[in-house]
Amino acid sequence: RFSAATRLKALVSTGGRNVQAACDWLFSHVDDPFLDEPLPREFVLYLRPSGPLLHQLSHFWQQSRLACGKNKAHNIFPHITLCQFFMCEDGKVEALCEALQATVNRWRGRFPSPLRLELYTSSNFIGLFVEEQVAEVLKVFAADFASEAAAKAGGGPRVGGQCSSNVRLSNVHVEPHKKQLHVTLAYHFQANHLPTLEKLAKGIDVSLGCDWLSVLYSRDIRFANHETLRVMYPYTPQNEDELELAPGDFVFMSPMEQNNTSEGWVYGTSHSTGLSGLLPENYISRADECDTWVLHGSVLSHTDFFVRLDMIPGLHSGTMHDNGKLQKKKSEGMTLFVCRHGERMDVVFGKHWLSQCFDAKGRYVRTNLNMPPSLPQRSGGYRDYDKDSPITVFGSTQARLVGEALLESNTMIDFVYSSPSLRCVQTAHNILRGLQQDGKMKIRVEPGLFEWTKWVSGTSLPAWLSSADLAAANLSVDTTYRPHIPLNKLAVSESYDTYISRSFQVTREILADCKGNNVLIVAHASSLEACTRQMQGLNPQNSKDFVQVVRKIPYLGFCACEEQGETGVWQLVDPPILPLTHGPNHSFNWRETLLQD
C-alpha cells in the first residue's frame, strides 16, 4: 500500500495523464530508492507557438539538424521563456496551476497580438527577439503569474502586475525572466555552420499567423544537469550492477558518474523505473532534454486569451484516494485521436429518405424525431445529400457525449481536423459542443481525410459543402484553412494502395503542422486503421483484412495513438474515454401495433 505522499508523487510525475499511467508509474518505480523521498520537481513557464509559424519553425529545426547536426537549441522545442525553472513540492502543484488559470482570466483581452518578432544573429547565436514594447507586456504577465502563485499557495497576498524579481511561493521561488524575450533558433554551433543556419533562419516568415500557448512543464530535479539518452535496443543484465533496458525508455547520465566505468559502458538511471546501473553505450543514443518533461497546463494566448481546456489535472479532478485508486485522467504529450462520424441518415432511414423528407420544391420536412429539424442549404440542390448524408439527431447526441467524456477526463484537444463529408463535420462540431469549445476552436476541413473513393457509388465524388457554406450553417469551421490535399487531387475509384498512401501522407503532414499538440481527426471507420497503422511503423494490411477491420468499427469508434517522446515512433494506447454502445430501436407505428381488431 502506497503512502498518500507517494500517490501524490505519481500524479504529479505523470501530469495526471490517466489512471493507467499513474498506476504504471507507481508499480514500475517500486524499487526506486527515491520513491518515498519528498523531492520537489522543477517547473518552468514557456510560451509555445502553434499554427503556421510552428510549422516553419519545425521545418527550420529539421533542416538545420540535417545540414549542420544537432546544436544546443535542439534540446528544447521552440519557445519563449517567461519564468525560469523553479522548484515546487507536489502538494502545491494544484495551487500553481490554479494560479496560471487565475492569471489568464485576469488578462482576458489584454494579451498582445500579434507578437512581433525580429531575427537576430551573432557568431554563436541565432534567434527571433520579441519587439521591446510587447516584451515588456509579457514580462508583466509573467510577474503577475508569479505573484498569483505566491498568493494561491499561501505565500502572502498577491500584488497584481508588480514585476518582483523573486516572488516566494512558501518555499518556492518563481522568478520571471528578466532578459530579452526571444525564440532561440540555434546556439553553441560550429563557426563554419553560421552561413547555412543564417540562410535557413531568414527563410522563416515571422508574419505568419500564430496562436501562442502558455505552457507549464516540470522535470525531475535529480536529473536537471544530466544528459538525456534514448534506449534503442533491449538489454537483459548479466551482472547485478547492470541496468535492464527497454526500447522507448530514457536514461539519465551524469558525466561525473562515468569515471569508474569500463570502455564501452556508461552508468545511468532509467526514467521509467528510477533504477541505476551500468549499460552498454551502443544501446543508447542522444535524445532531447525535453523528451522526459511533464506537461501540466496549456493555455491559448491571444486577444481573447481563453483557457484551451482545464489547466492540469487539478488534483481535485485527478485524485488518488486512500484506497489507492485513481479517479479521472488527463492526456499529456502529443496524442493523435481518430474518431468515426456519428449515425448517418441514409443508413437509418434508407436511401429513399430524400423522397420522404423533401417536397417537389426542395423544402425539407422531417418525418421522424431522429431526423434533424433543419438541414444546410446546398447550392446544387437537395439531391447532393444522396452522396453526402447528414447525421441523425442521435448521431449528434453520440458526438456530444464523446465531447463531454473528453471534457470530464480533462483530455486536451488542441486541433480538430475533419473529412469534408457533412456527417464528419457535424460530428466534429458536436464533439466540440460537448467539450464546451464550439465557437472557440475551429474545425479544419481536410479533403485528404475522405474515405477510400472506391466505396463511392457512381462516376463522381460527392459535391461537398464548401467551408464557407458550412460556416454559414453555423458549423464551427476554419474558413482560412488551406488543405494539404485539395479536392482536385482526389480521384474516383482510387486503388487501395493510393488510399493508404494518401491517408498516411495527410496524417504525417497534419501532425507536423501541430507538433507538440494533441490532434483529433473526425473521419470514417476506415480512418482509424488508415491514419494510425503506418504511424506505428507497421506495414499496411492487405485490402481484404483491411475491410474486415473496418466492418468492426461502430459509429463514434474512437482510438488514441501516442508519440513516444519525440522519436517519431507512435503507439496505440487506451483512449481516455469509455466506449459508446447502443442498441437498435425499430420504427414504431402506434396504429399498426395498438389499433387491432
Which residues are marked as active site? 340-341, 524
Grid cell for residue 552: 468492426
CA atoms within 13 Å, Cβ hemisphere of 560 = 21
Grid cell for residue 2: 502506497
422, 377 in Cβ contact below 8 A? no
398, 405 in Cβ contact below 8 A? no
Q: Which helix (H) or strand (E) holds 11?
A: helix 4-13
Annotated binding site for substrate: 423
Please state, in angstroms and rounded to a whole number, the distance separating the CA atoms of residues 138 and 146: 12
Which residues, at least 6 apart from 124, have a Cβ–Cβ distance to it below 8 Å? 187, 188, 189, 191
Backbone φ and ψ for 137, nearest 5 degrees, come out as -65, -40
In this structure, the strands spanning 443-445 and 415-418 are parallel
Please state, in angstroms and rounded to a whole number, the distance separating the CA atoms of residues 220 and 86: 12
191, 123 in Cβ contact below 8 A? yes
Q: In DSSP terms, which residues pair with 364 in a beta bridge?
A: 358
Grid cell for residue 342: 456519428
Distance of CA 12 to the CA centre of its chain: 19
- Residue by residue, DSSP assigns 338-370 as EEE---BHHHHH-TTHHHHHB-TT--B--SSTT
Amino acid identity for residue 443 in this structure: I
Which residues, at least 6 apart from 134, have a Cβ–Cβ distance to it below 8 Å? 112, 115, 116
CA atoms within 13 Å, Cβ hemisphere of 487 = 11
Provide the strand spans (E) within 62-121: 80-88, 117-121
Give the N- to C-terminal CA distance of the chain in Å, as an integer.
69
Please state, in angstroms and rounded to a whole number, the distance separating the CA atoms of residues 156 and 147: 9
Please state, in angstroms and rounded to a whole number, the distance separating the CA atoms of residues 429 and 100: 28
Residue listed under C-alpha cell 535524445: 287
Grid cell for residue 243: 541496468
Q: Which helix (H) or strand (E) holds 173?
A: strand 172-174
How many helices and strands, by DSSP H and E, does the chain display?
15, 22
Give, in degrees to the nearest 5, the angle at Cα 401 between 397 and 402. Answer: 120
Burial of 358 (0-12, 13-18, 19+ CB in 10 A): middle
Smallest CA-to-CA distance from 210 within 145, 297, 140, 300 is with 300
Please state, in angstroms and rounded to a whole number, the distance separating the CA atoms of residues 378 and 178: 56
Annotated binding site: 423
